[in-house]
Structure 1
Amino acid sequence: MGISKTAQRSVTIQLLPVSSSSNPYISQPITSRWASKLVLVHRVLLFALGIVTLICVIMATSLVPQPPKIRLNSLFVSKLNISRGMLGANFDVTFTIENPNLVSWVRFNRLDGSISYKDNVVLTYSLEPFVLGLKQQRTMRVKISTMALEDDDQPVVEEWVLDEVKRQREDGAVELSMEMFAWATYKTGWWGTQFVIMNPQCLDLRVGFLPKVGFGSWISGGPMMCSVPVLID
């Protein structure tokens, strides 16, 4: 009888709530997902930082004004005459000036040029001020005459220079050089202005002359890129 009463008793067992932390098989996938997201965010931030750095480097490089590119296209000499200690001739020169900058335009405030024989200037000229915009170029034609008997604007040429030019002309070719001094202003947007002096040089220009004729032309025929040293920046 006692055993029957004991069998009829019910046993109540309190169950504890199951948490995810107590089950390693549940917490592992959640941690893995968070780690993947953090790696992805880290990679995106590194990529964005690289892009920003590249843009800054490109902008910094572009903000440094580059000297203009000068290309000599043609050089002709006509009516070359050397007599009584004077050099008379007509010079016809064509060249192109290009502004290679992406963010800076350049204004040529003053440009003085000359043509020389062995560093001895035989004629000079000046150009009017002009402006080159971004990536803009301009082709210019300069015609200079030294045929006037008295020209105060032209330099006095020494006798030995005239003798050598005359002798080379008779031999068929004269070695000349072109040089310019340019006072220019670079303007970058509204925040930057830079003043420079440049010294473009087109050297070793061999001008061939027809026999007993005062007409000559640049033998290589061009075009030729000239060097553009910056004297002051």
Structure 2
Amino acid sequence: MASTSSVMEMPISKHANAERSAKVPLLPVSHNPYSKSHVPTRCNDKVSSVPIIAKFTLVIFLSLVALAIVVFLPLIRKELTFGPQAPVVELTALTIHKFNVSETNLTAEWDVKLKIGNPNLVSQIWFDRIEGFVLYEDRTLAIEQVEPFGLPMKTKNQVRLRLRMVNWEGDQPALKQGMLKKMKRDRKLGGVRFSVQMAIWATYRSVWGRSAQRVIMNPQCLDLHVAFVPGATAIGFGILIGDVPRSCYVPMLAE
């Protein structure tokens, strides 16, 4: 009887297992939450995008380098072929103080501000000696020396001249006869025209330091119309009329 009961139980257990299998369906492998293929691929997308960004940045950099070569190479070749360019000189301000003129005497103080720029790409300029002048017509009224300085490539520097003429004393040159009378008349008519010039001894040096060239320059800021404050003869204050900065002519001669 024991064997008979065990035989009768076996089909029942198989039938029960079949029913349990039918109630719990198996998930496909692709939907297995623990499968590696189900892991999001967002990180992989970031990793794959890094080389693309690097390539794009490299393309932009190379394009800028190529553009710089196209723009600056002709300028460098011109400078190497024809020699360094003269500095760019601009007059940015001019005022006069204590201006007093008569038929026999003149006193004045000129305050001149200039901006000097080096336009060269492969040469720096060292200004060994600088002298500034104020002229009326073709006659020098006052002289001042400026401290030497250097100017690297594509840079600018401010230069200030403070010139004085006091009763023709010291090393100040005298005026021609009749010029004081003309200057006095010009002031009454509305203003006096002066000129500012410089004598410069300079040295050009290339960035490679293998060559040096000495030059002499004569920057000229001409026809500077200065008007004086009406009714303030004792103060003698005058200011430049017209737009600033004003470009100056710079002739240059190699020694």
Normalised by the length of structure 2, the TM-score is: 0.66
Q: 1:212 offset after TM fit, Å?
A: 3.4
Residue ranges of structure 1 left out of the alignment (5+ in a row): 1-51
Q: Is the 8 A contact 1:105 1:131 kept in 2?
A: yes
Q: Could you say which residue in structure 2 is the equivalent of 1:159?
A: 177
User: Is 1:209 matched with 2:228?
Assistant: yes
Bigger Rg, which one: 2
- Give me the whole-angstrom Cα distance separating, in 1, the residues matched to 2:71 and 2:145: 43
Per the TM alignment, residue 224 of structure 1 is displaced from its structure 2 partner at its CA by: 0.5
Rounded Cα–Cα distance in structure 2 between residues aligned with 1:157 and 1:130: 32
Residues 106-185 of structure 1 correspond to what in structure 2 (within 5 A)?
106-147=125-166, 149=167, 151-185=169-203
* 1:191 maps to 2:210: yes
Q: Is the contact made by 1:73 and 1:221 (CA closer than 8 Å) also made in structure 2?
A: no
The aligned length equals 181
Indicate the residue corresponding to 1:231 in structure 2. 253
CA distance in 1, matches of 2:153, 2:113: 22
Residue in 2 aligned with 1:59? 76
Shift of residue 121, structure 1, vs aligned partner: 1.1
- Structure 1 outlier segments of 4+, above 3 Å: 52-59
For the Cα contact (< 8 Å) 1:105–1:133, is it kept in 2?
yes
For the structure 1 residues 84 and 101, does the alpha-carbon distance in structure 2 shift closer, same or farther, using more than 3 Å as the test? same
Cα root mean square deviation, aligned: 2.2
Work out the CA distance in 2 between the residues paired with 1:99 and 1:53. 21
Distance 2:75 2:162 in 1: 41
Cα offset, 1:220, TM superposition: 0.7
Write the distance in 2 (CA, Å) between the matches of 1:57 and 1:84.
57
Cα gap change, 1:66/1:129 in structure 2, threshold over 3 Å: closer, same or farther? Answer: same
Q: 1:58 Cα deviation (Å)? A: 4.6
Q: Deviation of residue 74 (structure 1)? A: 0.6
Residue 54 and residue 204 in structure 1: after superposition, are their counterparts in 2 closer, same or farther (change >3 A)?
Answer: closer
Matches within 5 A, 1:5-154: 58-63=75-80, 64-83=83-102, 85-147=104-166, 149=167, 151-154=169-172
Distance in 2 (alpha carbons) for counterparts of 1:127 and 1:208: 27
Q: Percent identity?
A: 38
Does structure 2 retain, via aligned residues, the 8 Å contact 1:113–1:180?
Answer: yes
| Structure richer in helix, relative to its length | 2
> Counterparts of 2:136 and 2:72 in 1: how far apart (Å)?
48
- Per-residue CA deviations over 1:16-57 (Å, capped at 9, x if unaligned) read xxxxxxxxxxxxxxxxxxxxxxxxxxxxxxxxxxxx999875
TM-score, L = length of structure 1: 0.71
1:200 equivalent in structure 2:
219
Q: Is the 8 A contact 1:172 1:211 kept in 2?
A: no
Gaps of 5+ in 2: 1-68
Q: CA deviation at 1:102?
A: 1.2
Relative to structure 1, is the Cα distance of residues 117 and 58 closer, same or farther in structure 2, using a 3 angstrom cutoff?
closer
Cα distance per residue 1:107-165 (max 9 Å; x no partner): 11111121111111111111111110111110122222223x45322111123111111
